[in-house]
Structure 1
Amino acid sequence: MSSPHDDPALTKLMERLTSEWTIHGPSATLENLARDLERMRTYRQALETLLLQARLELGLPAIIDEGGLGCDVPETTRAAYEQRYVAAVRRVGHAVLAAGDLVNAWPYFRLIGEPEPIREALEQDRWLASGSTTVVQDDDPAASDQREQHAEAQFNRLVEIALYEGAHPARGWQFILERHGLCAAITAFDQLPPDRKVRGRCAGLLAIRLREQLRGGLIHELERRGATIPDSARQVGAPLAPLWVGRPELFADDAYHIDLSHLAATVRLAPLSDDPQALSAAIDLADYGTKLAAPFQQSGDPPFEALYPDHALYLRGLLGDDPDAVERAIAWLEDRLPTPPPSSFIEALPAQALARLLIRHDRLLDAARLAATYLYGVPETALTVPTPAQLCLRAGPQGVALLVELARTHHDLPLLAAALALSNAPNHND
């Protein structure tokens, strides 16, 4: 095994270091050295060089005793050194990332609490290809297997960084969907953080993917039966209904064309999405579910006691292409609201669904009134919509007045104080 002592480039840098130190001085020499080490991808030494440069320029000891930023750094210099420390780590992190090594760049950005560069990089599709199991075949099967194992390990590490270590949970979940399929992605959905945007994005991707899988199953069955299928029905994103309308035989004898556990899970999650394309896909899936034989008609939590028909109605309301569909969904949910206040989390679910629908169509004051009546006291972690206070704030001056009333009704003194502060703010005193 070779060691750093065998590296001619490092040996040459060592020889230059002494002479340049005398000619150019410590600061310029260390800057040049750090740049060379970054170019050579010797990142740990590059970071140590930058930190040494910072210490010398700030009048600190060349080597700090135990504790890193500990007792050897005077209070008067500590803030300046911490800034240089963060800047050095950031610089090296960007150098590692620019070299295409996201996995080894992540520890640098995680150290300083700046996940944004990694988050942006993960949005690039090339990271999906980086874990590809397709390798160049050669005459050495052992080498080919080793490359494949390395690619798989790198891909799994990307998933860990993105999803489980929080760099970009939605993208990490999407990697699982793209690489390992629907079953693994549905299982991993519970690992997502309780962030409505993250979960909504992933639920939408799931609906879009499953619709195309269902399209393939329907087309396969129709072709087996000798049916003619128009090109328009084969296109990705096209509605599915033309494939089954007028063909009841597709559902005869308890037939189905997709994994029904995937169908039920995806339809349940679909209302989390705000993406019109995903909502359209979910409507197709719910409509398909209504065509299934009675043994496959599932029930769900309120207000979706009839899983597929109820979701089809609600999803059309969320999509909002048809104003009448919006009003039908609102009326349907209003009929399912319990006598206030709800006595359990389950009883509050129809109110959450209705609030989401109202928010979707910018009826914020109505949503705030609903939340004030039905959702006060529901733990924030159990909400799929903003809190009553947040909705009141979004609803403008009338919402703030509602917030005062809500706080007084529940003797919530901190909330009352916040409401009074808001009601006396200049933008609420017009």
Structure 2
Amino acid sequence: MSSAATATASFDQLQSSLASGGAAQVLAQAAQQLRDEKRYHELFEALKMQTRLQLGLPLQTKDNNEGLTEKQRKELEDGLIAACREVGSLLLKQGKIREGYMYLRPVGEPAEARALLADIEADEDNAEELIEVLLHKGVDIGRGFQLMIDQYGTCSSITQYDQSVARRPRSEQQPAARKLLQKVHSDLLGSVKHDIAKQEGANPAGNTLLELIRDREWLFQENAYHIDTTHLASTVRNARVLSDAADLRMALDLTEYGRRLSQQFQYQGDEPFADQYPANALYFQSLLGQNVEEAIAYFEQKAELLDPQYNGTAPLETLVDLLARLNRPAEAIVAGIKIKPKCVQPIGLAPSLVELATQAKQFDAVLAYCKEQGDVLGYAACLAAKGK
């Protein structure tokens, strides 16, 4: 059948639908035809009209739906969400990533979009759109960041991490930080193994950097290195958001390599990690249950001695956050109250005093502090948390 004949038959079917079932049947028939023809944007409009017809509303309107009852407003919203879900899913199955996500986003269920996108294999044509939705829109940050590494390399990926991922909450940073850590550790491990095999004439035993570089100081002679040293430093810094023991051991392994580099490649970090590799090593060790008291003492000294007017609140917040991560919230409260700067805005690295009080189930010290500071909102939040 020719396209003209097919179109005529479609219109005839719509006419028959009106005669047999009225407006509702017309819209149902139109929606099915649009599905069959994969005209999904128009399908969305048909589904919208179906919803409005069911609610007794004008099929098309430019107003903002004023005058609706709460029940009508809820049913209209549910209908539109269902339309978004159907059309977004169909577009993603068609491989139209950006368009599909445009419809799925209002549904507010990232897991649903993540599952649909998992079925789309990345290639040179769709990689950019996948990175946009998975990474930048936050649908699947781990997969999106891995695609970023695969497509653009480690250097660009680190830049992207520092510019956007690092601004996200810790739980959202972790998948990207893990992918970066795995990539840099794998590349460095392979490079070191290759160098040893080349110099010694046999593949070395050992699965960690520490095992490979121990007793092989010649690996670092004449300012030698086996990976871009700025990449190494950035990866170690970003790994501080991680909490899984395997990740922390891998990050600690990188510090073992980094601290053996020539001094010109041991870049100074921001306080309290100015002495970058030793300080980060101590941090990772404490989270692994090693040298805990030494780490607390080190970061406590940094918090007490560094002036927040020049160094900001990172030294204090690092101490408080570390104590919280070590499941010592009561000590974190004491540290936070004792050293908290009066005129410097926190950067949000550490939990709030109210969060710590809730974790510790000890509220009195925070209530007293808020009262002393005239912090009505903090006092009320702490009191509410205590009463839950």
Query: If the length of structure 1 is used for normalisation, what is the TM-score?
Result: 0.80
SS for the counterpart of 2:308 is coil
Preserved contact between residue 403 and residue 419 of structure 1 (Cα < 8 Å): yes
Residue deviations 1:304-359 (CA, integer Å, cap 9, x gap): 22211221122111222x4xx2222122222323169x533725323322223222
Counterpart CA distance in 2 for 1:70 and 1:408 is 47
Aligned mates of 1:7, 1:202 — CA distance in 2 = 52
User: What letter matches 1:106 in structure 2?
Assistant: Y
C-alpha separation in 2, matches of 1:11 and 1:259: 66
Instruction: Determine which of 81, 90, 104 is the counterpart of 1:86.
Output: 81
Question: Residue 197 of structure 2 aligns with which residue?
Answer: 223
**C-alpha contact 2:271 2:314 (8 A) present in aligned 1:** yes
1:339-418 aligned within 5 A: 343-344=308-309, 346=311, 348-375=313-340, 379=345, 382-396=347-361, 398=362, 400-418=363-381
* Residue aligning to 1:51: 48
State the alpha-carbon separation in 2 of the partners of residues 116 and 22 from structure 1. Answer: 43
After superposition, the Cα gap between the structure-2 partners of 1:30 and 1:364, relative to the gap in structure 1 and judged at 3 Å, is same
2:288 is equivalent to residue 288 of structure 1: no
Report the CA distance shift for 1:104/1:268 in structure 2 as closer, same or farther (over 3 A).
same
Of 235, 238, 244, the match for 1:266:
235
Matched ranges for 1:153-192 at <5 A: 154-189=126-161, 190-192=163-165
CA drift at 1:275: 2.5
Residue 92 of structure 2 is aligned with which of 75, 97, 105? 97
Q: Secondary structure in 2 aligned to 1:219?
A: helix
Q: Does 1:332 align with 2:329?
A: no
Contact 1:204 1:275 in 2 (8 A): no
Q: Please tell me whether the aligned partners of residues 208 and 282 of structure 1 are also in contact (alpha carbons under 8 angstroms).
A: no
Are the counterparts in 2 of residues 38 and 92 from structure 1 also a CA contact under 8 Å? no
Q: Give the letter aligned to residue 371 of structure 2.
A: R
Cα separation, partners in 2 of 1:108 and 1:180, compared to 1, 3 Å? same
Report the Cα offset of residue 212 of structure 1. Answer: 0.5
Question: CA–CA distance in 2 between the matches of 1:182 and 1:115?
Answer: 27
Q: 1:130 aligns with which of 115, 122, 143?
A: 122
Distance 1:168 1:379 in 2: 32
Identity %: 30
Counterpart code for 1:59: G
Task: Provide the secondary structure at the position in 2 that maps to 1:344.
Answer: helix
Question: Deviation of residue 165 (structure 1)?
Answer: 4.1
Distance 1:21 1:369 in 2: 74
Q: Which runs of 5+ in 2 are unaligned?
A: none
Contact 1:20 1:29 in 2 (8 A): yes
2:227 is paired with a residue of what secondary structure? Answer: coil
SS at structure 2 position matched to 1:335: helix
Answer whether contact 2:87 2:103 (CA < 8 A) is retained: yes
- Would you say the 8 A contact 1:270–1:282 is kept in 2? yes
1:89 corresponds to which letter in structure 2? C
Match of 2:35 among 38, 43, 46: 38
Q: TM-score, normalised by structure 2?
A: 0.88
- Equivalents in 2 of 1:63, 1:78: separation in Å? 16
Pair 1:279-2:271 in alignment: no
Give 3-state SS (helix, strand or coil) of 1:362's partner: coil
One-letter amino acid of the structure 2 residue matched with residue 16 of structure 1 = Q
* CA displacement at 1:295 relative to structure 2: 2.4
> Does 2:272 align with 1:309?
no
